[in-house]
Amino acid sequence: MPYEEARRLQLALVEAKERGGGFPDVIFFLEHPAVFTLGRRGGRGHLKVTEGFLEARGIPLIHTERGGGITYHGPGQLVCYPIVDLRGKGWKVVDFVGALEEVMIRTAREWGIPAGRNALNRGTWVGTEKLGSVGIAVRRGISYHGLALNVNTDLEPFDWIDPCGLRGVRMTSMQRLLGEEVSMKEVRRAASRHAGEVFGAEFRMTDLDAVHGLLARGNPGPGRTGDDAP
């Protein structure tokens, strides 16, 4: 899904949840075409190539409201966007960020990758290499944006930036660490399962048509749990 389309959909869901009435929490698991995004801290100064260089390759540079600096999304990277009422569940933002890191850590370890945390920098790390990033936004207690886990990601575009504004940091991927391509379908399933464990939630899988349908009908009201609810 193109980044801007995913962003618009997240914002529509945030607005629906702001209206209240029991609109469900939704978590998207998806991939983006190649894109660089700038968080609230900006980070254009951490772009090592010209914007013309990116335009020639058809890669957009987009400002967004998530936390953090510049980063890259592309095919082979699993992105997870939870649109969740944090206040309603008693989540503090820092704990929620830690939970997103935990989802990536548990997922990577399922493939034998010794992922963990870095005391100085958020995200998921394997030694000194960064495997996954976290960048969220919160509006009236509702989270959006989320995590990005490098599965089979082309790592070259990360060389064109200082990822998340961190100079000298090397990005890695599950494919690079394991020496072979990894099934994105299996990683997505594992991440979904671990997200359920970490968030203490049971997910009902659905497709985008059902999400759009729910938005088109407006607020479903408390207790609505039909088969078309995400």
List the single range of 164-168, 170-174, 207-211 with lowest mean pLDDT. Answer: 164-168
- pTM score of the predicted model: 0.90
- Quote the CA–CA distance of 75 and 63 in Å, as a whole number: 20
Look at residue 119 in the predicted model and tell me its pLDDT: 84
8 Å CB contact between 66 and 37: yes
Average pLDDT taken over every residue of the chain: 89
Architecture of domain 3-216: 2-Layer Sandwich (3.30)
pLDDT (mean) for 147-174:
91
8 Å CB contact between 210 and 230: yes
Residue 228 pLDDT more than 70? no
Per DSSP, 90 falls in state: T
Residue 219 pLDDT more than 60? no
Residue, of 78 and 23, whose pLDDT is higher = 78
Residues in the chain: 230
Look at residue 225 in the predicted model and tell me its pLDDT: 34
Which residue in the list 164, 177, 182, 191 is annotated as catalytic?
A: 164
8 Å CB contact between 219 and 16: yes
Share of the chain above pLDDT 70, in %: 94
Sign of CA dihedral 83, 122, 46, 52: negative
Look at residue 205 in the predicted model and tell me its pLDDT: 84
pLDDT (mean) for 31-36:
97
Clarify whether 164 is annotated catalytic: yes
